[in-house]
């Protein structure tokens, strides 16, 4: 979306970037420097213990740009492919896994990380739900579900 000032408002959440503790501000600035020439509306914000990158570009393009322009202090870059917020973490997790099954995703491994703690019960629920929906397969990809409050993100 183009604004009157000429700047473009950032789109959706595209990446979660894990950074070395204590270097969040510098890494956020370096990420902006790396991505701004390609998307003038890119935005980098703290999201729990990671940095969230909001952009109009697709997650694959952003990940490729960061591979070509390495940023010191970045530990991992995860592409966000689905997100859900149904008011509760359990409801959001159920909706997210259902949408993943509808899109035909297959996972060889499903990890669950909570930015706010208390993930044990949700991890058991996610494993059972993924098995019930037929999401687990040897030929699938490794996926990570990130829970932040009531929002749930599926990252590859």
Q: What ranges do the domains of the chain cover?
A: 12-80, 86-155
3-state DSSP call for residue 56?
coil
Task: Name the CATH superfamily for 12-80.
Answer: PDO, CxxC motif (3.30.70.1650)
List, for residues 40-52, the tens digit of each pLDDT value: 999 999 987 899 9
Give dist(CA 117, CA 148) in Å, integer: 9
Contact 17, 76 (CB under 8 A): yes
Assess whether pLDDT exceeds 90 at residue 2: no
Q: What is the pTM of this model?
A: 0.85
Mean pLDDT of the chain: 89
**Least confident range of 10-14, 16-20, 39-43:** 10-14
Looking at residue 10, its pLDDT comes to 55
The burial of 95, by beta-carbon neighbours within 10 Å (0-12 exposed, 13-18 middle, 19 or more buried), is given as middle
Contact 80, 68 (CB under 8 A): no
- CATH assignment, 86-155: 3.30.2300
Same fold, 12-80 and 86-155: no
């Amino acid at each position: 979306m183009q604004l009157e000032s000429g700047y473009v408002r950032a789109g959706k959440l595209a990446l979660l970037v894990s950074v070395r503790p204590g270097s969040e501000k510098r890494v956020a600035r370096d990420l902006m420097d790396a991505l701004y020439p390609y998307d003038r509306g890119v935005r980098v914000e703290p999201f729990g213990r990671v940095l969230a990158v909001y952009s109009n570009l697709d997650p694959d393009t952003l990940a490729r740009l960061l591979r070509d322009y390495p940023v010191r202090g970045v530990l991992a870059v995860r592409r966000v492919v689905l997100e859900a917020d149904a008011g509760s973490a359990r409801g959001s997790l159920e909706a997210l896994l259902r949408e993943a099954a509808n899109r035909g995703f297959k996972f060889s491994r499903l990890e669950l990380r909570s930015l706010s703690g208390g993930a044990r019960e949700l991890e058991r629920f996610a494993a059972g739900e993924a098995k019930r929906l037929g999401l687990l397969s040897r030929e699938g990809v490794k996926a990570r579900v990130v829970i932040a409050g009531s929002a749930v993100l599926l990252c590859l």
